[in-house]
Chain A
Amino acid sequence: MKKVKVALVGNPNVGKTSLLNHLAGTDLKIGNWPGVTVEKKVGKTQFQDYEIEFIDLPGVYTLESAFSEDEKITVSFLKEGDYDVVLNVIESPRLERDLYLTLQLVELKKPLVIALNMRDEAEALGIHIDEKRLSDLFKIKVVKTVGRTGEGVKELLSAIVETYERKLIPEFEVFSFSEEFDTEEKKLSLIKGIYKEVIKKPLIPKKNLTEFVDEFLLHPYLGFFFLFVILYFTFKLVFDLSSPFVDFIDGFFQEFLAPALAVFLKSLGAEEFIINFFTEALLGGLGIVLSFLPLIFIMFLFITLLETSGYLPRVAFLVDRFTHKIGLHGQSAIPLILGFGCNVPAILATRTIQDRKDRLLIIAMIPFMSCSARLVVFSFFALTFFTRPALLILGLYIMGIVFAFLTGFIMKKTLLKKELSHFVMDLPPYRFPSLKVLIKTVNLHVKRFIIRAGTVIFAIAVTIWLTLSLPPGERELEKTLAGKIGKTLVPLFEPVGLGDWKITTSLIPAFLAREAILSNLAIILKAEEREKLEEFQLLPALEEQKEALFEAFKQAFSSLFTLTPASLKPEEEGQSLRGKIRDLLTPSSALSFLIFVLIYNSCVATFVTMWKEGSKNLALGFLLYSFILAWILAFITYRIF
């Protein structure tokens, strides 16, 4: 079997990654804004007698000079990397722009294939490209494709193989490479010439949907109104659609799975130790984190919609008027918004930012964006302690944003002083991903959440549970290892209202993953009050769960028709975990706790990424800064409320 290495090169946002996903069956992330791919990614496929390896590269406009981190990756790979064929992906409606890069790729003197992608969009605009003519001009293969659906991918594969076998290195027929070719002027007229040769388009361009929608969404004033409406409804729907299901799953774990498993294990003659492990560490601890799956799902559904529709670059344009007052481009809004999903990819997304100082600044702002892990903790506590949870969570989000900008402002004035740099960005048309891609992308996020729960949080849960049983035979939890560790930290957290060892014990391992706070508390509290096995009957319990699920659907559906976030009634006191936690904290210490969780950069993945993408000093400095800031704010909150 022969091996072929193919490098995918093209302008940003032309559909390279989409094509690769069809070519090699990968699940790489796509999005409708320039700068989605910031790393070199690989996908493999077998075709005929060949093993074809595709290398997806970040988009570039020119090979002459690399401006940002991601562009450097592509340029240096093309210069020094190991590849046999270049696959140049072109956005058909913008052929003229894209040919600039194509001419530079010609100079690489490597076998080249052109994919005229987004054939569907070109056709809708009435633009027709004569691919035969283009192919004749360059003496290479040209294939029309649709990255959205995978149309033309088969032809592309055979074209790649043929290019490889026949070493189809582009050369010109009519425009010969003359000495003067290197002058910019000549190059531009060459592009114009080629473009005129192959294109047929209507004289008066059709007014399309994008223009119509942008009259509202990019309107100097109305644009902000719509931005607000979109963000508000995103927030409302994420919260309202998911919370009935979160409650259902929680109930399913605590009231059905846990007792059912206990009864089952008992009937097998399992020891109490084993039964406790399953009901406390596994179903009590991990279950509570997993019950937030619907929240994660809906959250990422909306983030993916924002990313793939093309609205993000519009937000960048709109908010530039404000961000530039603190010396930042509107473009920096994109990584910040991505931070609401997860801080780690958000930090990676800063690679597209040209200026290193700007980049460091934005990296230092991102951890203040409440990620989904924090949302999980927030929703749990907000529902437990406060009568208007949605409002509180919204408040926390806004507080995070405010501190992000304050931090940015202060850093700009002190450490990272500099002039605002130039700014130019491409504005793509609105696009809608196929449902399949949408579901796939969201599923990937969900899977990651489950894997994280299944590994990191599981490991933490087991450790906490074990330390609660050390030294062996110790009945009083306070005297166990976990209790002792927590107690030594109490003086540090006492002034902010978190003087209970159960809270401090839960906080330590949360540096690995914030969601672990919940699982830890659940385990500690469960261990404290080991329940007697009640009478448990499978069928009636199952019936109950069925009704609860139905109720959840009903609630979620009806929430679609209200304007304000539905504020769920806090549960009545009782045996439930919520009830127990409510005995542990007062509302004011709960609030101070939430603010601490919001501000303190307690996530090992974020820390490591800051270190790698920014610098060691940034990561360590920020850790200290965020801890001190979190402590002070929590202190103030606790004293005031």
Chain B
Amino acid sequence: MTLKDASCGDLVVIKDFLGEEEIIKKLSAMGVRKGSQFSIEQKCGRNLLIRNGQNRLIISKELAEKVVVDLVKKGEGYCEEISCELIDKACPEEGKPLTQRHRHRKRWGFLHKICPFLKD
């Protein structure tokens, strides 16, 4: 699985990276290295907040998708409770079509105002 698939509270160990981009080098330099363990402190909106000891990083999901991890310990406890569902669902990600429920809304509905990129 990738870092993006890990849920809030999980402890994972980094196995590999997908792709050869320069940014992977930066990740390594910042401490996201093969073999290091990270716990996921928050997963909300577009970003993950991860921690290894005193090293805490904010990393976007697109980048987290390039990091292959193994689950060490499944998360439990408070972290799931403060879910970000409400925020994540209020505005679907850019590019994704609206779900059925929204389709009949008017073009200038409230949703369009807060998510201006939505088409139809």
Residues in chain A within 8 A of chain B (CB atoms): 61-62, 64-65, 67, 93-94, 96-97, 100-101, 125, 184-185, 188, 192, 205, 218-221, 313, 316-317, 320-321, 324-327, 329-330, 409, 420, 422-429
Contacts and interface: CB of A to CB of B under 8 A. Distances in A.
Contacts of B63: 422-424
Interface stretch (B52-60, B68-76, B98-106): B52-60
User: Which of B22, B33, B58, B86: most chain A Cβ within 10 A?
Assistant: B58
Nearest to A317: B58
B59 A423 contact: yes
B107 interface: no
A313 B28 CA distance: 21
A300 B25 CA distance: 37
Contacts of A428: 56
Given A97-B30, A188-B33, A427 B57 contact: yes
Nearest to B33: A188
Contact of A94 (B31, B32, B35): B31
B31 A96 contact: yes
Nearest 5 pairs of A and B residues by beta carbon: A321-B45, A62-B29, A61-B29, A423-B60, A97-B31
Interface residues of B, number: 39
B53 A218 contact: no
A151 B22 CA distance: 38
Given A61-B29, A321-B87, A427 B58 contact: yes
Given A67-B22, A94-B31, A220-B42, A425 B53 contact: no
A101 B29 contact: yes
A220 B47 contact: no
Contacts of B25: 62, 64-65
A125 B54 contact: yes
B62 interface: yes
Given A65-B26, A100-B28, A424-B60, A218 B42 contact: yes
B50 to A, nearest CB: 9
Interface string B87-99: 1000100100000
Interface string B7-37: 0000000000000001101111111111100
24 contacts: A61-B29, A65-B22, A94-B53, A97-B29, A97-B30, A125-B54, A192-B35, A220-B44, A317-B58, A320-B58, A324-B46, A324-B94, A325-B94, A325-B116, A329-B60, A422-B63, A423-B46, A423-B63, A424-B23, A424-B32, A426-B55, A427-B49, A427-B56, A427-B58
Nearest to A323: B46
Given A188-B34, A220-B84, A321-B45, A67 B58 contact: no
Given A420-B94, A423-B46, A424-B27, 17 more contacts: A61-B29, A94-B55, A97-B29, A101-B29, A220-B42, A221-B82, A317-B49, A320-B47, A320-B58, A321-B46, A423-B58, A423-B59, A424-B59, A425-B58, A427-B49, A428-B56, A429-B54
Nearest to B34: A188
Nearest to B21: A422
B35 A188 contact: yes
Given A94-B53, A427-B56, A427-B57, A62 B26 contact: yes
Contacts of B46: 320-321, 324, 423
A205 B53 contact: yes
User: Which of A61, A219, A316: most chain B Cβ within 10 A?
Assistant: A61
Nearest to B62: A422
A251 to B, nearest CB: 47
Nearest to B23: A422
B30 A409 contact: no
Contacts of A101: 29
Contacts of A325: 91, 94, 115-117
A424 B35 contact: no
A575 B22 CA distance: 67
User: Which of A93, A97, A428: most chain B Cβ within 10 A?
Assistant: A97
A337 B114 CA distance: 22
Given A220-B44, A320-B46, A325-B91, A424 B29 contact: no
Nearest to B53: A205
A100 B26 CA distance: 10
Contacts of B44: 220, 321
Nearest to B82: A220
B58 A184 contact: no
Contacts of B53: 93-94, 96, 205
B15 to A, nearest CB: 13
A317 B47 contact: yes
Contacts of A324: 45-46, 94
A503 B86 CA distance: 50
Contacts of A61: 26, 29-30
A256 B63 CA distance: 64
Contact of A185 (B34, B59, B84, B94): B34
A188 B60 CA distance: 24
A326 B29 CA distance: 29
Nearest to B93: A324
Contacts of A329: 60
